[in-house]
Amino acid sequence: MIVDAVEAAGFMCDGRVLALGSYENRVYQVGVEDAEPVVVKFYRPGRWSDDAIAEEHAFALELAAAEIPVVAPMAKRGQSPAGTVTTLLEHAASVTRSTRGVAGSGPNWAAGGPAVDGAFHGPHPHGGGAREVPAPAAAVAACDGRGSVEYLLDSELMPDYIAHRYGRVTGELLDEVEAALEAAGELRYIRIHGDCHRNNVLWTPTGPHFVDLDDCMMGPAVQDLWMLVAGSVMEMRSQLEDLLEGYTQFADFDYREMVLIEPLRALRMVHYAAWLARRWDDPAFPRAFPWFGEATYWERHTAELEEQLNALSGDWR
């Protein structure tokens, strides 16, 4: 099936197939005769419609056309230049060029990351900021935090002795998050990556490249920016200053969005645990996250949520 999908896109495979790290989808590097290998991604069935995937591909191609460093899907070989470009292939798959690099911090993150991140989100004719709409910050929580909590409490993964404490802290936490999002009012929404953590930035000899736009959406710029910082509070503040220095070379930044960083982090923490729980029947997840089913994980996770409840009073401005 892997080889058939790639050859249906017009590439003659040489038989080499290497599984790459991916949880939400299935991704493989496939050797091609007389050419560099390609990467084929099979989307998780039922997660996105064909129309949604086509919109993701169109966004990536627009960014690439604007010389923004993304790994974009390749068109099916042999298409007429005047025809419609086909990037979604058989078996809900897409093919990209193979980009050799290192995910994560990268050797030049502090120097190169800010400018590239600004390039990704700035208002280029075809870039991330090209489409803007005013929208309430509360819409950031498109995935219902309370729904995630309910799912976890109904699952059999959480020990009974933790459930009451977890329910109490998440109730208080989400009350505070919703109040903060409501207080932020209307902010500028642009097209964003949606899952812009450092492992989705691939560092190559020519610099960083953004990958995996599956979760691209409309949202405030800070939704992507805050996920690129890590470490202690002081380290994160310094990193964010560097990012914004690069960002503001390309676009204006609304500093009112800074109040959303800790509420967004809280939502991410809740949603991440629920994501693991919803995928637990996928054999790849227990192998990759064996600690998730242990009581100590839920004790630690609940304690971290309690710490985050206190962090909501912090101000990044």
Q: Residue 4 pLDDT more than 60?
A: yes
List the catalytic residue out of 50, 51, 195, 252. 195
Active-site residue, from 212, 214, 224, 242: 212
State the pLDDT at residue 187: 86
Confidence at 185, pLDDT banded by 50, 70, 90: confident
* pLDDT tens by residue, 258-298: 999 999 999 999 999 999 999 999 999 999 999 998 999 99
* Together in a domain, 244 and 282: yes
Is-catalytic flag, 195?
A: yes
Question: pLDDT digit string (tens) for 77-131?
Answer: 655 444 445 677 666 778 887 766 566 655 445 445 555 555 555 544 444 555 5
Mean pLDDT of 19-32: 91
Q: Of 31, 64, 98, which residue sits at a domain end?
A: 98
**Gap between the Cα atoms of 122 and 250, Å rounded:** 5
94 and 35 Cβ atoms separated by less than 8 Å: no
- How far apart, in Å, do the first and last CA atoms of the chain sit? 51
Considering the domain architecture, whether residues 114 and 262 belong to the same structural domain is answered as yes
Which of 34, 65, 98 is the C-terminal boundary of a domain? 98
The two structure tokens encoding residue 178: 């919703």
Encoding tokens for residue 307? 């710490």
**Is 212 among the catalytic positions?**
yes
316 domain-assigned: no
Tell me whether residue 250 is in a domain: yes
Closest CA to 144 of 117, 116, 178, 110: 178
Q: b/e string for 243-280 if b means 16 or more Cβ within 10 A?
A: bbebbeebbebeebbbbbbbbbebbbbbbebbbbbebb
Q: How many domains does the chain have?
A: 2
Residue 317 falls inside a structural domain: no
Q: Are residues 61 and 128 in the same domain?
A: no
* Cα–Cα distance list, 118 to 9, 142, 225, 243, 300 (Å): 33, 24, 9, 8, 35
3 state DSSP class of 224:
helix
pLDDT top residue among 258 and 251: 258
| Residue 304, C-beta contacts closer than 8 angstroms, at least 6 positions apart | 269
Average pLDDT, the chain: 83
Global pTM? 0.84
Does residue 103 lie in a domain region?
Answer: no
Helix spans in 185-294 (H)? 222-225, 233-247, 261-278, 284-288
Last residue of a domain, one of 98, 121, 140: 98
